[in-house]
Structure 1
Amino acid sequence: MSNFDPNAILRGAQLTVVGAYRALQNPGLFKYEHYRQAAIAVLAGILIRFIIAVPIIAVKAILWACSFLVDFDSMTWDDKLVGGLDFIANSVLQVPFFLMSLMRYITPTLDHMFMDSLQWVDQTYYAKHKSENPKTLRATYYAELRMYQAHGDTSKHRKPMDAAIAFLMRFGRRAGISLAIYALSYLPVVGRFVLPAASFYTFNKAVGPVPATVIFGSGVFLPRRYLIVFLQSYFSSRSLMRELLEPYFSRIKFTKEQKKHWFHDREGVLFGFGVGFYIFLKIPLLGVLIYGIAEASTAYLITKITDPPPPPAYGENFAESQVTWKNKQEFLKLPLHNLDANNAETVEKKPIENFDSPGKKFS
């Protein structure tokens, strides 16, 4: 439970609110480019809802045609079928969430939002502490991170299209597993234990055997629908965090093992942050707009759970140094109104006036 304790989850949820508040204060967030992308996002949201509704509408049309031959008034299976299709699309397969995540590989706007917001976080931090000795403040994030090439050298790292294909494969694998578990839960006798067993297997690795056993015991008596929503919320919030952190990991290169330990050491905070935004993303149509705010808020999160990166020439061992969250306990104990207090580094910083303006493009 050391990485998944309630205090860490609560702090992650608090960072959801604080990060969104900081992001919305950034005038650069409302540039013309972002307005245009917001309009596209709304249209995409409508398209997403339409795509999800097509098979349901088709089933309703077939049932309506059959109603001339069969009396459905005394039956309920037709309503259960339509409701089940909607539940599978939205809660089992997470189709809206999938399509919103896929937008990252179609347009670079989310990456721009992350970097613009990271610049704004640095500016806000220095403005807030302008009366203090600059040598006692933390180093900048944006000025150094923008020196790193996104996705690195394409001759050595995956191209964006390859990353999109990898994302589709990951989603297809998760969707297949979700459908298989959902189908197995309908088996006679043993079906009622399938979802609780999946819950135990999942949470045993994250929180340990005792809390996982409690979840298993509760899951035996919970309705299937509630347990599926609970499981998918957990998995989707984890997936959401991986997608939101992509602008950071596309620049700072971690090995697979390093990345695994990086997430594990911050699991509680990341879960609290991710599940907070995941709930907001469930809002029809507005979800795609909130996704952009979530990406901008992740820039603030990064400054709380990582160290400022050095210039690329000195960054060979930086990824390895970040696997363990060094100031975790100190940060989790900070009061909510003083979250910036524990990010001090005694190195010389660039003054705020040397930064580019929020609306200026970064290289």
Structure 2
Amino acid sequence: MSNFDPNAIIRGAQLTLVGANRALQNPGLFTTDHYRQAAIAVCAGLAIRIILNVPIYTVKAFIWVISVFVNLDQETWDETVVNGLDFISRHVLQIPFFLMMVMSSITPTLDNVFMDSLRWVDQTYVQKHKSDDPSHLRAMYYPPLKMYSDHGANERKERRSFLDGVIVVATRYGKKAAISLAIYLLTFVPKVGPLVLPAASFYTFNKAVGPIPAAIVFASGLVLPKPYMVSFLQTYFASRSLMSQLLRPYFDRIRFTKQQKKIWFIDRSGVLFGFSLAFAIMVKVPLLGVLIYGIAEASTAYLITKITEPPPPPGDNKEFIESEVRWKNKHLLLNLPLDKLDAYNAKLTGADEVSKHADRVATMPGKKFS
């Protein structure tokens, strides 16, 4: 429960606001390249949304044809069918997140947004603490992380066509969507249907965050109306999927094993959920969702500096990775006042080392401080 307690979730939400504010202050976020990629993403997202909604449009057109010959003013089944299809599209199949994953799989722009924003976070930190004792400053994140290879992730994206990106994501997404749809349909089975969502939620939450949150969600599922329960569960799953996508630029460079990565996420589950929840909701906004996704990626650069230690230069970093699996300074961050977040750092360095890193950040290409 300590990984998913209310305090951790609230601190994650606070980091969302601070990180988004910090990201939006970066003039590099609004470069021509980012605008061009965002425009392409919006157009592509609109096209995919129309294609995926063809079945819904077909059913609506069929109902309209029927209404020409049959008076449906006294009927409610037509509205039930249409509303049900809309609900499945938005909350069960999570189509907006499918669109986000397609775009992130075919363009390296979001990786560039993350790294540019990380450089901005370092620059801002140096500027805010330029009068402080250098021995009390943290090490930089951008310079060493920039030296890491992304293991060809960006090259694969640049070579991948739009259709290839759709196929890759659809293959990965299809299994989850099929499971979600199957569980939703099972809720209509007489007698056992009301227990399907609570049981599925208990299984998922118990595995992800522990038995106490799982028991609370299970009990809530027994009394809450099904649409509310479906919306809650899918929002939770969407926030997890979104957070996993947002952290890909970091994990493409710092290579954890599958088991290490699983523990890494569990140990930080409350903060990650609180951070991604608002973005997961806003990403569903038609057309603007992909722009929100870009802001979320930029904000994740700030988040990384609060839940990880500064990475060492590339090389034999197995010891560093092993030390990062568990979040050792969790209670320090969770207990800090909101206005002291910039005072937090997981690791202190010597004055010479900090000065060296500060000089490197100050000379990085990019906008200067006014």
- Considering the TM-score relative to the shorter chain, is it more than 0.5? yes
Q: Tell me the residue number matched to 2:287.
A: 285
Q: State which drifts further: 162-171 or 174-183.
A: 162-171
| Counterpart residue type for residue 110 of structure 1 | L
Call closer, same or farther: CA 1:284–1:163 in 2, change over 3 Å.
closer
Counterpart CA distance in 2 for 1:322 and 1:169 is 31
Alignment equivalent of 1:346, drawn from 345, 349, 354: 349
Distance in 1, Cα, partners of 2:166 & 2:73: 47
Alignment-mate amino acid for residue 306 of structure 2: K
Matches within 5 A, 1:136-215: 136-151=136-151, 167-215=169-217
Q: 1:152-182 CA distances to partner (integer Å, 9 max, x unpaired)? A: 599xxx9556998664433111111101100
Partner of 1:333: 335
Moved more, 339-348 or 210-219: 210-219
1:314 CA drift (Å): 4.1
Deviating more after overlay: 279-288 vs 314-323: 314-323
More helix by share: 2
Contact 1:45–1:287, Cα closer than 8 Å, also in 2: no
SS in structure 2 at match of 1:285? coil
Deviations 1:313-350 (A, max 9, x none): 24243221210112111111111111122214123122
Among 315, 320, 323, which residue is 1:321 paired with?
Answer: 323
Distance 1:300 1:135 in 2: 22
The answer to whether the 8 A contact 2:209-2:266 is kept is no
1:258 aligns with 2:264: no
Provide the C-alpha distance between the structure 1 equivalents of 2:147 and 2:315, rounded to a whole number of angstroms. 10
- The answer for unaligned runs of 5 or more in structure 1 is none
Structure 1 segments, 4+ long, off by >4 Å, are 158-167
1:269 equivalent among 263, 271, 285:
271
Cα deviation digits, residues 98-136 of structure 1 (max 9, x gap): 111221111110000000000000000111111122232
2:178 and 2:29 map into 1 onto residues whose CA distance is 37
Matches within 5 A, 1:1-363: 1-151=1-151, 167-343=169-345, 344-347=347-350, 348-349=353-354, 350-355=356-361, 356-358=364-366
Name the amino acid aligned to 1:144: P
- Identity percentage over the alignment? 63
Contact 1:127 1:352 in 2 (8 A): no
1:81-114 Cα deviation digits (max 9, x unpaired): 1111111111100011111122111111000000
Distance 2:45 2:165 in 1: 23
How far 1:352 sits from its partner (Å)?
Answer: 3.5
SS of corresponding position for 1:73:
coil
Q: Structure 1-normalised TM-score?
A: 0.92
TM-score, with normalisation over the residues of structure 2?
0.90
Comparing 275-284 with 90-99, greater Cα deviation is found at 275-284
One-letter amino acid matched to 1:273: F
1:359 is displaced (CA, Å) by 5.8
The question of whether the paired residues in 2 share the 8 Å contact of 1:31 and 1:359 is answered with no
2:229 partner amino acid: L
Separation in structure 2 between the aligned mates of residue 301 and residue 21 of structure 1, nearest angstrom: 12
Say which is worse superposed, 344-353 or 28-37, in terms of deviation: 344-353
The secondary structure found in structure 2 opposite 1:242 is helix
> Any conservation in 1 of the 2:105–2:169 contact (CA below 8 Å)?
no
- 2:106·2:165 contact (CA, 8 Å) conserved in 1? no
Distance apart, 1:258 and its partner CA: 0.6
